[in-house]
Each structure stands twice: as C-alpha cells, then as structure tokens.
Copies of this chain bind each other. A is one copy, B any other.
Amino acid sequence: MGDEVSNKQIVLRAYVKGSAKQSDMILKTSTIKLKVPEHCNGAVLVKNLYLSCDPYIRTRMSFLQGSYVDSFTLASPIQGYGVGRVVDSSHPNFKKGDLVWGMTAWEEYTLITSTERLFKVQHTDLPLSYYTGLLGMPGATAYFGFYEICSPKQGETVFISAASGAVGQLVGQFAKLSGCYVVGSAGSKDKVDLLKNKFGFDDAFNYKEEPDFNAALKRYFPNGIDIYFDNVGGKMLDAVLLNMRLHGRISACGMISQYDVEELEGVKNLFNIVTKRIRMEGFLVSDYYHLYSKFLDTVLPLVKDGKITYVEDISEGLESAPSALIGLFSGRNIGKQVVVVSRE
C-alpha cells in the first residue's frame, strides 16, 4: 500500500500561442506512493483508466489571465476528465475499489484533493469509457445545452456543427427524439456517413468541401434554421446568422475553430440577432452538475433501448494522449476521443 511506484505523466512544456503541437507536451516519469498522505483529508488516490480529450483543454494550455479557467501549471500533468479506480481514499464517499469519473490528470495515478467534480460510477453494464463521453461531461453538455438553452419544439429545424464529435452526435440524436429536422456538419466523408447512417441525422455535409457556408446552409435549410448548436464559432457561426429564422436560438457550447489560432476571426453578421430576435446563450455544463442524476435517469434507458448510440475513437496508451488531443483540432478523430491508460 505505501509502496512508491513509477508514475508516467504528460506535462505541459511551455504555454502555447497559436497552433498547439504534440511537442508542447512531454512524457515525464515521476513516482507516487499509492496511499493518500496523512495531511490530505478528504482526498482520493485514483488509478486512471480512461482519459478524455476535450477541445476546451486547448484553452488551458495558453497563458491566461482572468479567464473562466486557469492555465495549466507548467511541468505538471495536464488536467482533464477521466475514469479511474480508487486505490486509496480518505473521503467518506469514496472507498478503495470504487469506479469514479471526473476531473483527474494525465498520468497513471492521480491524487485528487478536490472531489467537487468527482462522481461515483453507479452503472457498470455499459462501457466504462462512456463516462468520458456519453455518460460524462460531454453527454451532460449535450443534454443540458440542448434542452435547457434551445427549448426545442417538434418540427423545428436544428443545425449542429462538429456534429460527429463527443457532444454533437448526442445533440443530433436528442433533436431527432424531440421530433426536429436535423442537419450536421463535419469534416470528412466518413463523418458525414456516420451522421446520416449511424446517428439518424436527416442530412449532413462536409464543411471542408463547401467554399461558401452560406450557400451550403441555404441548400440544407431553404426555410432557415430554428436552433443552432454551436461547437465551432467563427466563419460557420457567421454564415448561420444569415440563415437563422425569426426567434431562433443559438446554444453557444464551444468555438473549437478559435482555440488554436493566432488571431481570432471576426463575426460580422450579428445584426441578424436584432432583426430576427435571436437568443444566443452560452453555458457551462458545470452549472448543471447538480442535475447529473436526472440526466442519467433520462439517458440510461435510451441507451439500453438502443435509442441512443455513441461512437468513440479510442487511442491506446498514455503516451498517445498528446497526439490524440492535437488530432481534435484537425478533426482527425471520428467520434469521442478517448485515451486508454489502463483497462483495469
């Protein structure tokens, strides 16, 4: 129990400006005692099994001041969501052997001293990795970001960007279950096929083959868009604004097109917000974590009945994490990007 073991870590080398590269992160080998130290009351020591690559991680790799998140600490492991098994605990709610998901770090073992964002895994009849996606932060993001922000009504038209990603694929399925007409954009033919054939989108297009987003949207939405679930920001948002319908809603979930650029893109068509009485609203899933069990109660039966499906892109080994993360920004992943650190 008290033995010191080797602990491989992925640490940030230097703060990133412009495009992040794999070499901005390096593998480091440290050591750790597999026991919560005596002075760490309420802490949990976790063996990490699955790590989640999420676009927002890029923002923490920059040097930030007064942002909604803190910059990562240099030479310390990248922090992020993951699934793990409790190795030791001084917290009354977690005991050795428990499976947990929540905020951990990119290393083999993590001492979690703040358990505010740590949840016990109660249902193990689904793949554990789903707690990095469908049943974890991205799943709750899709659920609350769609139902709470977009107020969908049957028959409305819904557009989703980055639609095959961890969040988008679920938003599309929720929208279909709500009786909406759903179109998604993604960055390859394979992803477009996935949207249409696997996730049941009514239609989908490859934005990389569209020289004019406005023209593409007019083709797919001749009568306009009621709801836009925005994962990308930038040029696509600008084109969407031209195609929104009166009283449309935009759920501002993320803006991946803007995280990894030297210079932010300007959005020019905001006057449409006035003339079409559009509501554009941002949210962070953490504001809804108190409703997490409500989310699970709704989603688990849908998953078990086959009414919701989920696609993951699984990368093997902690060493692969930097490459997997960087791949998000060129759209290399197909579905939710997960890194397996260990399968048990």
Give chain A's interface residues, CB within 8 Å of chain B. 67-69, 233, 237, 252-255, 258, 264-284, 287
The reply to whether A277 and B282 form a contact with Cβ atoms under 8 Å apart is yes
Closest chain-B Cβ to A263's Cβ sits at a distance in Å of 8
A233 contact set on B, CB distance < 8 A: 270-271
Which of B69, B274, B282 is A284 in contact with, Cβ under 8 Å?
B274
Cα A253 to Cα B275 in complex, Å, equals: 9
- For residue A168, give the distance in angstroms from its CB to the closest CB of chain B: 15
Closest 4 CB pairs of A and B: A266-B266, A68-B275, A274-B282, A264-B268
Chain B residue at smallest Cβ distance from A248: B282
Q: How far is the CA of A239 from the CA of B84 in the complex (A)?
A: 42
State the Cβ distance, A335 to closest chain B Cβ, in Å.
22
Nearest B residue (CB) for A269 = B264
**Residue on B nearest A149 in the bound complex, by CB:** B279
CB neighbours of A275 from chain B (8 A) = 67-69, 282, 284
A287: B residues at CB distance < 8 A: 277
CA distance A248 to B273 in the complex (A): 17
17 interchain pairs, CB-CB under 8 A: A68-B276, A237-B270, A255-B271, A264-B268, A265-B268, A267-B270, A272-B282, A273-B280, A273-B281, A274-B282, A274-B283, A275-B284, A277-B281, A279-B280, A279-B281, A279-B282, A281-B281
So how many copies of this chain end up in the complex?
A: 2
Chain B nearest Cβ from A261, distance in angstroms: 10
From the candidates B264, B272, B277, B281, name the one contacting A283 in the complex (CB within 8 A). Answer: B277
A269: which B residues are within 8 A, CB to CB? 264
**Which chain B residues lie closer than 8 Å to A252 at the CB level?**
270, 273-274
- Give the shortest distance, in Å, between A316 (CB) and chain B (any CB): 32
Residues in B whose Cβ lies below 8 Å from that of A268 = 264-267
A255 partner residues in chain B, CB cutoff 8 A = 270-271, 274
Residues of B within 8 A of A274 (CB): 252-255, 282-284
Report yes or no: A280 in contact with B277, Cβ–Cβ below 8 A: no
Beta-carbon contact of A281 and B284 below 8 Å: no
Residues in B whose Cβ lies below 8 Å from that of A68? 275-276
Task: Kindly list chain B residues whose C-beta atoms are within 8 Å of the C-beta of A271.
Answer: 233, 255, 258, 264
Nearest opposing residue in chain B for A237, CB measure: B270
Question: Which residues of chain B are within 8 angstroms of A258 by Cβ–Cβ distance?
Answer: 271
Q: Smallest CB-CB separation from A234: which chain B residue? A: B270
Distance between Cα atoms of A269 and B272 in the complex (Å):
17
Question: A217 to chain B: closest CB distance in Å?
Answer: 13
Q: How far is the CB of A147 from chain B (nearest CB, A)?
A: 16
